[in-house]
Structure 1
């Protein structure tokens, strides 16, 4: 009876296939180029993330998922925009299966993460998001963790690793070193590169702010398609994450993030010292793995441009097979394998 149920249940069968893929890559060892496993796995195969918990952390009440044994070595996974915690729905069970405690927070302006005070600025400068990660660790009593992410989440993890290396055991960062500065962002780029940032310039206008507020889901679905042109996600997969865009501060946070980058919006003075350190381009000294998909349609630096920023044990992995910007969701086995390997490098 149990054998028949296991064979007949496609969710169980697909999860076992992904787990087997991770085991195979672990046995094979690290490689510069890897072919993604289970990229076409349908959304129904995603294991439930579990209940959303809330914790007061700094200025936020952060919504997060906490999976695996409380005694397990902790891993923090940070999503990007316009995505949410479900980017790690297939990654988390693979890490838990290896005995890790996996914590996946909603970034400010997403899901159930809200500001504790109505008077706090809806600020999304880079230092604020990095400080959110440390505040979450403090609130949960976590001294040190592996940190990993993509897009905004990769930048958050990079900042944590650069400014608080004693708190970060190892790092996995999709698209590498994403720490920047307002001064650096002020420099014009060649036209082809500027074209990729069309939404940044759109958000710089009041028309863009109103347009994003009026068409949030349609806008974000278009970003998904442009950033991952070969990812054939279904409606259910998108709608699952789109629920997180209904956050009352979502539009304000997204608009501020991109306006701050261009120097069109002020940050908070309390972050001035941190931003000064980040503007200097601090090296990342902890064990690190950077990753890139071979079909990333979003703006991203060439790996040779940031290699020197990583001065500790290091590996870069190109994931082939039409993998776009949302690497953890498009190639969950490859991302999980990188996180597990980074933990071993520490």
Structure 2
């Protein structure tokens, strides 16, 4: 895939104990791991990563296991795509690149990998930023008609193998175009090169299968793990920044109050934006991240 969106970055492939991960790496200074969401790849960060490098950070932006150009060595089963497994991938990736402690910024599915990483490996994570999400178990506790209608893919992709895989194969380009347009609230926010990367990946049956397994894990092993965390009182030890579209603020309880039940140090900000904050409002994202990351050094 074309990495010209990341001028001055190098592209690397790193094998972990369970996956081959493709990533871009750039800059110097404190390391920041950027984790993308569904249905994207590392290219989702092309408007954020260069700005963080310019502000003095080292940036690592991988494709999550099964997404983009990253592959799982054993691609079957919800456990293979649990957030615990994906978080372990990132620890091993950063270790291979020479980073034992780093900040984590995640959007959408990447944010879910990010807080699992912070819970399971607190010694690794200096700070955590969540874009657009609350913990998965908190979602399941609050599912209503509006959520089910707007987040239809949670329920479709998590259906048993291989129903969604078969249906997605009928028109992958059409499904992805619809999904990306809806998640951007119909706005023209995508760079053509990023769109080309998303479509190229989604045409691969293995990538579509990985996305389904990702959502199946949310229904099963991820929910079970988070239920155990909550029951046991496990909390994120690092500072937490929560960035939200303004439309999220109408939820009750407030998303920041939900996060404060998971961490002691939580701050947040909102902006008029679609779900796709890294591509929709990159200046806002960078403007919030830089002082937060500098303060957490």
- C-alpha displacement of 1:79: 0.1
User: Which string of whole-angstrom CA distances, capped at 9 and with x for unpartnered residues, describes residues 260-315 of structure 1?
Assistant: 3334xxx5xxx99966644547322211110012357xx99841441423534332
2:127 alignment partner, one of 154, 163, 170:
170
Structure 2: segments with no counterpart, 5+ residues: none
User: 1:257 is matched with which residue?
Assistant: 214
TM-score by length of 2: 0.83
- C-alpha displacement of 1:54: 0.5
> Matched residue pairs, number?
287
Larger RCO (CA under 8 A, 6+ residues apart): 1
2:239 alignment partner, one of 280, 287, 311:
287
- C-alpha displacement of 1:94: 0.9
The change in CA–CA distance for 1:301 and 1:241 in structure 2 (over 3 A counts) is farther
User: 2:265 is matched with which residue?
Assistant: 313
Is the partner of 2:116 in helix, strand or coil? Answer: helix
The change in CA–CA distance for 1:188 and 1:309 in structure 2 (over 3 A counts) is closer
1:64 alignment partner, one of 11, 14, 23:
23
Q: Is this contact kept in 2: 1:60–1:115, CA < 8 A?
A: yes
2:284 alignment partner, one of 329, 334, 338:
334
User: Which string of whole-angstrom CA distances, capped at 9 and with x for unpartnered residues, describes residues 149-200 of structure 1?
Assistant: 110011111111222221111111012432438xx84x68332332223223
Pair 1:195-2:149 in alignment: yes
CA RMSD of aligned residues (A): 3.1
TM-score by length of 1: 0.73
User: 1:29 is matched with which residue?
Assistant: none
Counterparts of 2:225 and 2:259 in 1: how far apart (Å)? 23
Pair 1:149-2:109 in alignment: no
Q: Is this contact kept in 2: 1:122–1:253, CA < 8 A?
A: no
Structure 1: segments with no counterpart, 5+ residues: 1-44
- For 1:1-346, what aligned pairs fall within 5 Å after superposition? 46-48=5-7, 50-69=9-28, 72-116=29-73, 123-180=80-137, 185=140, 189-203=143-157, 204=159, 206-233=162-189, 236=192, 237-247=194-204, 249-263=206-220, 277-278=228-229, 280=231, 282-294=234-246, 302-320=254-272, 323-346=273-296
Q: Is this contact kept in 2: 1:108–1:129, CA < 8 A?
A: yes
Counterparts of 1:126 and 1:103 in 2: how far apart (Å)? 19
